[in-house]
């Protein structure tokens, strides 16, 4: 039977932060890393609440993945409710990556841009996908990994626990074998240290404790712009291990002495029917959280009798002269119902009975709320443009050329 050994959990404030908003939980077979956001200690509170949720026995469920996801959704509700109840906590949130080792299968549940990696035979493999603006642009082929590393909005995450009452959780199951090393970490590591360097440090450390210190040291040497947290463990066959002592630790939450919930270690989960390979690297599987004003809200301001009459006249003219077909060559830039910058084809008018004179041409994935207020009106004014002009505006946004 496979189990976790050499369990190591380390965190560091970094060189440019006064406080540490990261939290972690390492109590085999369950491991969690959370990276809070919100400032004024709100991020620290959010990450601690997330970790505290995992100190309870995992809920019943059909698979390890679903049990982890249930616990994450519970943490999301708690954080969201508190952020609404306490003004000083408004807007707080946290990323979260959790792993559960169940003999030959590693179940992963993930929200945000903290990461999980598997090190096998000297090769490092990323097990999670970043829920971040640049991460999604990379998946869509809009940015290279090199461009993403220097993007001015690389810190913008598109999914987290807390901001919304519900959260979508990504889950996977991976087959593991003896000798594998698993790394969970906050982006304070991966934003400062390349994956090649991470692999080199892991391969060069005889003990995982040394590797953990080496990773934190490398991140600080590169500038230490953020808090740095790493959780490491090795997968080994328990035959011949005897009564090896494992390290258990909680970071960013009240300390526990071996038994976090008074009921012993987290109860074993029933193994999944079959180890599942990770899903293919396809584009977005869900729409990211964004904040903005939808174009429908702006258009409703013009829903006056005169505007309706003008719209009817316009449509009649278009039908009578064939101009409607010509309007298919016209484009304008606005936002969709989720506040995402979108290119529309046609004319920016709505007619009675739900008739639109436009259609969606391209959804960018860029939140309108990130555009500087003094530029937002000029860019998202539904001004008619050529196809190239409209695409150029959105491309500049995605590449970070229009920033605060």
Collect all residues with Cβ–Cβ distance below 8 Å to 170 and sequence separation of at least 6. 108, 109, 110, 111, 128, 129, 131, 285
- What band does 268 get if pLDDT is binned at 50, 70 and 90? very low
Q: Which two tokens stand for residue 287?
A: 């729409």
Whole-Å CA distances, 56 to 50, 76, 109, 167, 227: 11, 15, 16, 20, 26
| Residue bearing the bigger pLDDT, 277 or 12 | 12
| Residue bearing the bigger pLDDT, 59 or 298 | 59
With 0-12 CB in 10 A as exposed, 13-18 as middle and 19+ as buried, what is 255? Answer: exposed
Angle among Cα 364, 394, 139 to the nearest 5 degrees reads: 40
144: pLDDT strictly greater than 80: no
284: pLDDT strictly greater than 50: no
Q: What's residue 283's pLDDT?
A: 31
Q: What is the pLDDT of residues 188-245, one digit of tens each?
A: 999 999 999 999 999 997 899 999 999 999 999 999 999 999 999 999 997 755 544 4
Q: Cα–Cα distance between 233 and 236 in angstroms, integer?
A: 10
Q: What's residue 59's pLDDT?
A: 84
Helix (H) or strand (E) holding 181: strand 181-185
Q: Which two tokens stand for residue 223?
A: 């500038």
Q: What's residue 299's pLDDT?
A: 40
Q: What's residue 117's pLDDT?
A: 98
Q: What sign has the CA pseudo-torsion 215, 217, 223, 229? A: positive
- pLDDT (average), residues 379-388: 78
276: pLDDT strictly greater than 70: no
- What band does 27 get if pLDDT is binned at 50, 70 and 90? very high
- pLDDT (average), residues 113-128: 96
Q: Which two tokens stand for residue 341?
A: 């910058």
| Rounded (10°) CA dihedral 403, 94, 144, 380 | -30
Residues making up the chain, counted from first to last = 404
Q: What's residue 305's pLDDT?
A: 53
Q: What is the DSSP string of 73-139?
A: HHHHHHHHHHHHH-GGGTT-EEEEEEEEEETTEEEEEEESS-EEEEEETTEEEE-S---BHHHHHHH
Q: Cα–Cα distance between 322 and 341 in angstroms, integer?
A: 30
Q: What's residue 233's pLDDT?
A: 97
Q: Which domains does the chain have, with CATH numbers?
A: 2-251 (3.60.40.10), 295-398 (no CATH)
- What band does 155 get if pLDDT is binned at 50, 70 and 90? low
Q: Cα–Cα distance between 259 and 239 in angstroms, integer?
A: 25
Q: What's residue 403's pLDDT?
A: 55
- What band does 362 get if pLDDT is binned at 50, 70 and 90? confident
- pLDDT (average), residues 59-85: 93
Collect all residues with Cβ–Cβ distance below 8 Å to 139 and sequence separation of at least 6. 129, 281, 282, 283, 284
Nearest to 347 by CA among 359, 356, 355, 357: 357
| Residue bearing the bigger pLDDT, 114 or 244 | 114
Q: What's residue 104's pLDDT?
A: 92
- What band does 292 get if pLDDT is binned at 50, 70 and 90? very low
Q: Which two tokens stand for residue 197?
A: 């360097």
Q: What is the pLDDT of residues 347-360, one digit of tens each?
A: 887 767 677 778 88
Whole-Å CA distances, 54 to 22, 69, 171, 372, 403: 15, 11, 16, 39, 38
Q: Cα–Cα distance between 246 and 248 in angstroms, integer?
A: 6
**pTM recorded for the entire structure:** 0.65
Stretch among 214-223, 243-252, 380-389 having the lowest mean pLDDT: 243-252
């Amino acid at each position: 039977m496979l189990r976790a050994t050499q369990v190591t959990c380390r965190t560091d404030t970094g060189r440019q932060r006064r406080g540490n908003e990261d939290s972690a939980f390492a109590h085999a077979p369950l491991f969690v890393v959370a990276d809070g956001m919100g400032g004024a200690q709100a991020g620290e509170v959010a990450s601690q609440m997330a970790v505290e949720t995992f100190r309870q026995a995992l809920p019943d469920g059909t698979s390890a993945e679903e049990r982890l996801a249930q616990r994450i959704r519970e943490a999301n509700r708690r954080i969201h409710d508190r952020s609404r109840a306490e003004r000083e906590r408004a807007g707080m949130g946290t990323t979260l990556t959790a792993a559960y080792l169940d003999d030959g299968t590693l179940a992963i549940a993930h929200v945000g841009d903290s990461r999980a990696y598997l090190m096998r035979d000297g090769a490092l493999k990323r097990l999670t996908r970043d829920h971040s603006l640049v991460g999604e642009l990379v998946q869509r082929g809009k940015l290279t990994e090199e461009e993403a590393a220097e993007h001015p909005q690389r810190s913008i995450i598109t999914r987290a626990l807390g901001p919304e009452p519900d959260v979508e959780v990504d889950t996977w199951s991976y087959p593991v074998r003896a000798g594998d090393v698993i790394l969970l970490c906050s982006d304070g590591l991966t934003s400062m240290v390349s994956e090649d360097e991470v692999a080199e440090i892991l391969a060069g450390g005889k003990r995982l404790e040394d590797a953990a210190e080496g990773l934190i040291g490398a991140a600080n040497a590169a500038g230490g712009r953020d808090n740095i947290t790493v959780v490491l463990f090795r997968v080994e066959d328990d035959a011949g291990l005897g009564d090896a002592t494992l390290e258990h630790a909680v970071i960013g939450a009240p300390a526990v002495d071996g038994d976090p919930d008074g009921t012993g270690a987290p109860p074993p989960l029933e193994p999944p029917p079959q180890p599942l390979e990770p899903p293919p690297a396809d584009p977005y599987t869900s729409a990211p959280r964004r904040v903005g004003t939808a174009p429908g809200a702006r258009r409703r301001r013009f829903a006056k009798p005169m505007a309706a009459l003008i719209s009817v006249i316009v449509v009649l003219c278009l039908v009578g002269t064939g101009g409607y077909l010509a309007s298919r060559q016209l484009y304008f830039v606005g936002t969709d119902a989720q506040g995402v910058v979108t290119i529309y084809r046609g004319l920016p008018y709505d007619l009675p009975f739900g008739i639109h004179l436009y259609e969606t041409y391209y959804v960018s994935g860029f939140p309108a709320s990130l555009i500087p207020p003094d530029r937002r009106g000029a860019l998202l004014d539904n001004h008619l443009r050529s196809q190239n002009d409209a695409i150029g505006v959105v491309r500049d946004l995605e590449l970070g050329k229009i920033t605060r």
